[in-house]
Structures are given as structure tokens and as C-alpha cells.
Amino acid sequence: MKREGFSASMKATNLAGRVMKVNHAGEHGAVSIYTGQIFMARFTAKSLLPELLAFKVDEEKHRTIFGNELKRRGLSRCKSYWLCAAGGYALGIGTGLLGAHAISLTTVAVERTVLRHLRHQIELLAQDVEAVSAISGILNDEQEHHDSAANHNYPIGMFGRILSSAVSRATESVIWLGMRL
């Protein structure tokens, strides 16, 4: 009985550690997306620069929060870390090249997916106070990123729907993969 309790708590600790790794890599991916978009927005969407620069500062802060959680738990970064960096940067450059509309659609799609996962993680890891506090600490920022990008109110045509669903699926896939590495 005791043994079962011990192994259940080990499983919960491992799950929380895995989630911290995935979130840490994901935040690095977010930093990379905004880095790519900022680079391109200098030519294609100057008006979005202040917003993108502020988002990037937040994502760096989030990466530090999860990085500190990994250190505290004695865990190394996720194997998906460099995939998130490369994929995020490519997505940032690609959508940045397309201009303000594509940039904001990407932010909305990424942040919406991330927010859904964060809320689910909080329920899943309710027993792990530190994990829940790290995740709760970034929720407001992510909601703000989502809302300010959504507030630009670009009309969503066929292309927008395709881009939005491709970005959501890519974000889901990276999270799915990170949870299994």
C-alpha cells in the first residue's frame, strides 16, 4: 500500500518535471518566434514592433521561470529545446515576411493553444505547488499576448484560417513530442 503511494507520488513528480521541461522548451520557442518576427517586422510591420519587443521580454522571463524550476529539480533541458528554437525562428521569419496580419494571427493561434495547455496542466499537477505556481505566474502574460494580438481585428479569410490552423497544429505537435522525448 505504502509502496503504491510512493510510486504514485514518483509518477506525479516525473510528470511535473516533464511538463516543466516542455514548458521551458516551449518558452524558448516563443522567444524564437518573436525574434524572427521582430527581425522581419522591421521591414514588413513596423507598427507591431513595440508590441513584439514587449512580448519577447515576457517570453524570456517565462523561460527563466521554467529554467529555474528545472535547476531546482536537477533536470536537464528538454530534447526538443533546439527543435523549438529552429521551428520557432522559421515560423517567426516566415510569418514576419507575410506582414502584420500573419504575425498577429500567429500570436493568437500560438497563445490560444498554449493557454489551453497551461490550464490543463494546472489541473493535472494540482498537488505540485511549485509547478502550479510557475505555470500560474505566466498565465496573465499569455492571455495579454493573445488579447492584444486578437484586438488588431484583422479579417480572417481563407488564408488566415489555413495559417491559424497550421500554427495551432504545429504548436500542438511540439508539445506532444516534448511530452514523449
At its nearest, how many Å lie between Fe ion and the CB of residue 67?
Answer: 12
Choose between 12 and 83: whose C-beta lies nearer to Fe ion.
Answer: 83
Choose between 13 and 77: whose C-beta lies nearer to Fe ion.
Answer: 77
Choose between 30 and 170: whose C-beta lies nearer to Fe ion.
Answer: 30
Structural contact between residues 56 and 113, judged by C-beta atoms closer than 8 angstroms: no
At its nearest, how many Å lie between Fe ion and the CB of residue 145?
Answer: 4
Q: Strand, helix or coil at 43?
A: helix
When computed from its CA atoms, the radius of gyration of the chain, rounded to whole angstroms, is 17
d(CA 89, CA 6) in angstroms, rounded, equals 42
The dihedrals phi and psi of 111, each to the nearest 5 degrees, come to -65, -35
Choose between 69 and 142: whose C-beta lies nearer to Fe ion.
Answer: 142
Binding residues for Fe ion (CB under 5 A): 27, 30, 59, 62, 142, 145
At its nearest, how many Å lie between Fe ion and the CB of residue 62?
Answer: 4
Q: Which residue is nearest to Fe ion (CB)?
A: 62
At its nearest, how many Å lie between Fe ion and the CB of residue 108?
Answer: 11
List CB contacts of 26: < 8 A, sequence separation 6 or more: 84, 114, 174, 175, 178
